[in-house]
Amino acid sequence: MKPLRSALLRASQSTWLRERIPRYRFARRTVERFMPGEEAEHALAAAQRLEQTGLHTIVSHLGENVAHRAEATVVTQHYLDVLEKIREREMRSELSIKLTQLGFDLDEDFCLENFLEIATQVPPEKMLWVDMEQSPYVDPILGFIRRARKTCPNVGACVQAYLFRTERDVEALIAEGAAVRLVKGAYNEPPEIAYPRKADVDENYFRLAQMLLGTDARRRGVRAAIGTH
């Protein structure tokens, strides 16, 4: 992994920087190219502008793993509020949820209750996407998604192209007819399990995209979302 990317990943995990950097105007101007703001209203306003050009969006709440159930309850209500705003504005935007913000580290059953509270409010023609997290979470998150899909079939999985294992995961998800969102991956993973070179990640990304857009995936009704960031 390149030193600059490693440094940025470490910086992203710094509480001190997270609290102070947004205070600087130059930092806000730089970030606006990728993030419209810190509030849900900012994200939805940007999504509406994109929708007018024919682009549909997935919105997410960025943040850390929660340490208490009360925090997970607050995040759950936040997503419900955002869903209501999307309905009021008649937007086509969809949500993507980070399970560790809903209490995944605390109790999976508690997390599932929170998740299904949101999922049952999502219209059947839309997806509720689940973010993928660091490699130790991959199997637990995929297992959670399979469990959730028994109640709400319109739940989609995110997979990361930089992990060696992802081709097998994509094959399994296609066989299940699941919706899959493909991204490159942003965590600092060891070279034993992830491609360290960007060129290799890009090549694998292209291969996985071909699988998700291929004949077998279409025949099984797989919905593919391509997130190149």
Point out the residues that are catalytic: 131, 181
Torsion region of 60: left, alpha or beta (phi above 0 gives left; psi -120 to 50 gives alpha): beta
Amino acid letter, residue 189: E
Query: What is d(CA 173, CA 84) in angstroms, rounded to the nearest whole number?
Result: 30
- What are the structure tokens assigned to 110, written together? 């508690």
CA-CA-CA-CA dihedral for 221, 206, 229, 118, to nearest 10? 20
Would you say 211 and 170 are in contact if contact means Cβ atoms under 8 Å apart?
yes
Would you say 6 and 188 are in contact if contact means Cβ atoms under 8 Å apart?
yes
Look at the alpha carbons of 32, 33, 39, 45 in this order and tell me if their dihedral is positive or negative: positive
For residue 183, give the DSSP letter: E
Question: At a CB cut-off of 8 Å and minimum separation 6, what does 118 contact?
Answer: 76, 79, 80, 83, 95, 97, 128
Reported as half-sphere exposure (CB side, CA atoms, 13 A), residue 228 has a value of 7
